[in-house]
A and B are shown apart, each in its own frame.
Chain A
Amino acid sequence: MNEYILYPGCSMEGSARAYNDSLMAIKDTLGIGLREVEDWNCCGATEYLSINLIPAYSLIARNLAIASKQANGTRTVVAPCSACYLNLAKADYYMEERPALGQKVNEALAAGGLHYQPGSLEIRHLLEVLVYDVGLETIKSKVVRPLTGLRVAPYLGCMVPRPDYYNRWSDHEHPTELDEVLKALGAEVIDFPLKTTCCGGHMTQIGPETAYELIRRLVSSADTYQADIMTTVCPMCQMNLDAYQAETNRYFGTHYQMPIVFFTQLMGLAFGMDAKDLGFGLEIVSAKKALERIGVELPEPPAAKKKDEGLPMPQRRLKKTATPKQEVEA
């Protein structure tokens, strides 16, 4: 049994509940113990860093300081969320690289009776822990319902393989770790060229048009490769591609229906667990049709609203700026 300290992050309690549920469902099968960082706080995402530097790093470092006090026999902190993982790793790395930063942050932490010695913890992403600690062989040995025939697009997003301060990943732009896990589950993995291309991040909130184009590229590429489903390791990516897919379709006049789920959900399925214990059904773009391919039944998603049969309305026209760029799919 490998023991780890878990930093869940805010989305695991909300928008990424399916990630949390599926992780909790598979952890015993994989033989990993997860102890939560006590009374953890938000990592600041990509927002706090631009407002005020020292408070932003102190916010992150409070979690590190608490985790290092908890480190009883293990010094590895596991984060399932990409942005949380990057922020924790970044604070640890920069506090060491720039001693002046480390000193100021510790001065702030001292006001709360805490201290963090940079380098004393190992910050890792969940996927990397599963591939390199648990191992592909172990994962494969737990499979009782192989995902045979399910075409999956492995999508990692940006912040897991980049900037990769400790060189843990096979590649910064085309890492193969997620592909390997899915193959071990028996899935048919497409060679997804945009696997580490950006989902738009916070641009869905502050510049939706920029984000819609990034979302369109990803979904249309997965669709071109005839993927049944996309899978991700990041709550932000899942949220953008899932919850904003309808908006993106409306903006471009497209009709994509590409479900996107967390890789832990697919692992749970392959381990023979019940779909509803793995958070299936929480996705906005239903995964029902995709899962039928491997004989898994999901309850019917709530029926779409009936079309109004009132006055005839003009057809929604495609926006001029929204001409899909062909070269991206090439």
Chain B
Amino acid sequence: MPESNVLKQGAGLRQQEDLTLLHEVSVATAGVSRLEMCIQCGTCGGSCPSAADMDHTPRMLFAMLRAGMRDDVVRSNTPWICVSCYHCVVRCPQNVHIADVMYTLKGMAIKAKQYKDSTAPDFSKSFVDMVESFGRSFELGLATRHYLTHYPLRLPGMAGMGLGMLTKKRMNLVPSRIKDMEQLTAILDKAKTLELTE
């Protein structure tokens, strides 16, 4: 995106609009986010199955990005409540990659360590740890670690279900590991040094 788009005269505004934050989020999102194209119609929030539990609807969050409200945006629970169902994405008249923007905002919140409730970020991190160690996800290890950290009191209640999954052999007791873990580690180590900046 050309630099001139970051600072521009908004319609009817006395001073220049600072779109640094909007630009930053747009660039850090995979694909072409089209975030700048949002017309604030609210179709996203109206289509969202979990909007009732969100601090801000996606529409409101995008207005906050445009207004440069960085702290409020990264503290919002909205991206964490997003279930990635893509209802908003297929209905958006401007074809904004809404779900992918939510992933970007989660990443920003993790980097800034700004979230009210660490349950979701911890779950993501545990998942990534498993994948980086084995190359595959390991449901039993993930669920146990997650529940022990966040819902220790619920563990007895969940034991029945966990036992059901185990006796039916739907959860493996040991993780399976890919053969060429060395190659995967080399790829991920290199990838961690790279960022999307343009």
Contact = CB atoms under 8 A, between A and B. Distances in A.
Given A50-B107, A101-B31, A158 B178 contact: no
Contacts, number: 208
A159 B31 contact: no
B30 A17 contact: no
A162 B87 contact: yes
Contacts of A206: 80, 119-120, 123
A45 B31 CA distance: 18
B38 interface: no
Contacts of B186: 111-112
A298 B55 CA distance: 47
B131 A48 contact: yes
A15 to B, nearest CB: 5
Nearest to A97: B31
Nearest to A328: B49
Which of A15, A17, A207 has the most B CB atoms < 10 Å from its CB?
A: A207
Interface stretch (B7-15, B16-24, B63-71, B134-142): B134-142
A109 B180 CA distance: 13
A273 interface: no
Interface string B167-188: 1111110001011100110111
Given A98-B30, A159-B84, A163-B89, A48 B183 contact: no
Contacts of B28: 53
Which of A50, A164, A205 has the most B CB atoms < 10 Å from its CB?
A: A50
B178 A40 contact: yes
Contacts of B86: 158-159, 162-163
Contacts of B103: 49-50, 53
Given A41-B135, A197-B49, A47 B188 contact: no
Contact of B123 (A47, A53, A302): A47
Contacts of A163: 86, 89-90, 99
A52 interface: yes
Given A42-B137, A198-B83, A47 B124 contact: yes
Given A15-B139, A50-B124, A108-B190, A207 B119 contact: yes
B31 A94 contact: yes
A281 B196 CA distance: 47
Contacts of B191: 52, 54-55, 57-59, 104-105, 108
B56 interface: no
A50 B106 CA distance: 5
B30 A94 contact: yes
Given A50-B110, A207-B119, A108 B188 contact: yes
A12 to B, nearest CB: 11
A10 B137 contact: yes
Given A15-B139, A163-B90, A284-B168, A111 B160 contact: no
B120 to A, nearest CB: 4
Contacts of A302: 167
Contacts of A97: 31-32
A52 B85 CA distance: 21
Interface string A10-45: 110111110000000000000000000001111011
A125 interface: no
A101 B30 contact: yes
A39 B137 contact: no
Contact of B190 (A45, A101, A107, A159): A107
A246 interface: yes
Contacts of A46: 84
A284 B195 contact: no
Which of A13, A41, A58, A197 has the most B CB atoms < 10 Å from its CB?
A: A41
Given A10-B139, A14-B171, A48-B124, 10 more contacts: A40-B178, A55-B191, A57-B30, A101-B196, A107-B194, A112-B180, A114-B187, A158-B87, A162-B85, A284-B161
Interface of A: 10-11, 13-17, 39-42, 44-55, 57-59, 62, 90, 93-94, 97-98, 100-101, 104-105, 107-114, 158-159, 162-164, 172-173, 197-198, 200-203, 205-207, 210, 214, 243-244, 246-247, 281-282, 284, 302
20 contacts: A10-B136, A15-B165, A16-B170, A42-B136, A47-B127, A50-B102, A50-B106, A53-B30, A59-B188, A62-B183, A101-B30, A108-B187, A114-B183, A162-B85, A162-B86, A198-B49, A201-B85, A206-B123, A207-B80, A247-B161
Q: Give 8 nearest A-B pairs by CB, closest first.
A: A50-B106, A162-B86, A108-B191, A111-B190, A158-B85, A47-B127, A94-B31, A112-B183
